[in-house]
Chains A and B, each alone.
Chain A
């Protein structure tokens, strides 16, 4: 039923006609979650100075990584071709490092502070006073929080990537098609990132003993996502596991597409994996949350 009709119908049935909001069955429309996304996004992009200084840190970190990789690639023993390790050349690795630093910004390294504060203080109760689905609400908030750093922190990193001399530069994509698939992969990474952070928020809601273990899981996810070391450079026997585990979609899969280090015929698999894992996290998280909300204790007076 359209929401306006809902109002009209109720105006007839409500004796005083004073309360058009007294519809019989109500759930917030999808638009509400978009509005949540919007407001959280606007809230996050206010911090321009913090974003820019963060970008400076990131760029510095990228440069250090490039130095380290250059040393390894130049002096390593078991390089199959000169300058190539496990199917990745040095220049590909340099591009990888730049883009990984960009994609890292979407990845959850801690809880959304708004949500964490509400879990800890018991304000989750206030959220429950809205006709919304709490899980979708959190997902919308986390989705906004994942994408908002890309503006003030992400764009400067990319720009900086094009400036240095060729040996340090962010190279072009393998092909226009590869670039397109990479963009799709980035969207997949975004969905995976906020699905997982939402899932961990639900886990946090279920465990009263604090944040430490969750932070370790966040970090583990980033390592398995290929943020710190491209997954292709890990030992061969681990490759099947690394490709199928949930977090490859964070960084590694989109970048394989960009760099062309994987045949394009496998692209469908690469792009469906993050979606599959996102669905698992969202579904599982929703179930956990609904079970939890039945027994929730809202602390404080």
Chain B
């Protein structure tokens, strides 16, 4: 059986609203208008042990709600969820003993005491025997370079340092599943790269299943073999990043730098959908499914005095934007 299985999960929230103006404000004292927001509509998927899954979607799509359901915080109105054989919201304590959660925008460390104290608290909470705790802390300290941070109160850490500590805190008890909710938000490039590297290694060495929600598509590209897209509470895509690219970003771009300013010939090679010339930079868009790039390059080489030529994929961000647009999510 899969490690994580969701079937037909639905969850709605009631949101109160009130029109603007004094009259409406007064009225709302006695009668409140509410409406139902369907956060999740019949979501279902299954994830095997050791998978690294990217969970993407626009703001308000239901990503965080799904994570909250899976971590036992929210009870859905409908549907079934089995994680490691347990229903999260029914056996919350036993369930959460086996998972780790990192929220990029929320801290789970104690603000005013040194990180080490927070870690020891977690040791007691998860009942980790002293020898295993020491071993694990050593491992994480080396991998995340925490040596100097352990004695500093959390409030004095920079965001990047704090994030490393948060990740270590979530992994101390060796969870089998790790939920990461926007873990790289606000991090600088170096911190991002090293955090990704660490997550990848943790996944490979310890087989920790990871589910990553993010808006940073570079995270997904660097880490995830599988991508799930959610929008308006529905699961819209579930597959590899490669397939996603082929479906939503088939167009590639050729960017060529020319040796001198030239008049462009009339008849261009077939397969080029559109092109433009700006000074010495020539850009052409083509469909990678029907036109192999090397044919275009050799054809262009005959026509133009090329100095340099690069073939680019559409960036993942552009792809996701076009996907959201085509699925009417934006």
Q: Which of B112, B124, B175 contacts A29, CB < 8 Å?
A: B124
List residues of B (78-116) whose CB comes within 8 Å of A's CBs: 84, 92-94, 96-99, 101, 103, 105-106, 108, 110-113
Query: Hey, which chain A residues are within 8 Å of B108, CB to CB?
Result: 126, 129
Q: Which of A18, A21, A46, A133 contacts B128, CB < 8 Å?
A: A21
Query: Hey, which chain A residues are within 8 Å of B105, CB to CB?
Result: 300-301
Query: Hey, which chain B residues are within 8 Å of A121, CB to CB?
Result: 106
Q: Which of A19, A24, A26, A295 contacts B127, CB < 8 Å?
A: A26
A130-B73 contact in complex given A35-B120, A42-B113, C-beta closer than 8 Å:
no
B206 in the interface (beta carbon within 8 A): yes
A21-B174 contact in complex given A39-B113, A129-B96, C-beta closer than 8 Å:
yes
Task: Provide the bound-state CA to CA distance between A131 and B98, in Å.
Answer: 9
| A3-11, A58-66, A191-199: which lies at the interface | A3-11
Closest chain A residue, CB of each to CB of B175: A21
Q: B176 contacts A19, CB within 8 Å?
A: yes
Q: How far is the CB of A207 from the nearest CB of chain B, in Å?
A: 15
Q: A129 contacts B101, CB within 8 Å?
A: yes
A interface footprint on B15-38 (CB within 8 Å = 1, 0 otherwise): 000000000000000000000000
Query: Hey, which chain A residues are within 8 Å of B45, CB to CB?
Result: none
B13 in the interface (beta carbon within 8 A): yes
A28-B176 contact in complex given A39-B113, A130-B96, C-beta closer than 8 Å:
no
Q: A131 contacts B207, CB within 8 Å?
A: no
Query: Hey, which chain A residues are within 8 Å of B60, CB to CB?
Result: 301
Q: B84 contacts A32, CB within 8 Å?
A: no
| Chain B count of residues within 8 A CB distance of the other chain | 45
Q: A129 contacts B124, CB within 8 Å?
A: no
Q: How far is the CB of A46 from the nearest CB of chain B, in Å?
A: 6
Q: How far is the CB of A296 from the nearest CB of chain B, in Å?
A: 7
B330 in the interface (beta carbon within 8 A): no
Task: Provide the bound-state CA to CA distance between A31 and B173, in Å.
Answer: 16
Q: How far is the CB of B176 from the nearest CB of chain A, in Å?
A: 5
B interface footprint on A275-300 (CB within 8 Å = 1, 0 otherwise): 00000000000000000001111101
* B interface residues (Cβ-Cβ under 8 A, vs A): 13, 59-60, 63-64, 68, 71-75, 84, 92-94, 96-99, 101, 103, 105-106, 108, 110-113, 117-118, 120-121, 124-129, 132, 173-176, 206-207
Name 25 interchain pairs, CB-CB below 8 A, sorted by A.
A3-B127, A18-B206, A19-B175, A20-B132, A21-B175, A22-B98, A22-B176, A23-B94, A28-B124, A29-B124, A35-B124, A39-B113, A42-B117, A123-B106, A126-B103, A128-B92, A129-B73, A129-B99, A131-B92, A131-B97, A132-B93, A298-B68, A301-B63, A301-B64, A301-B105
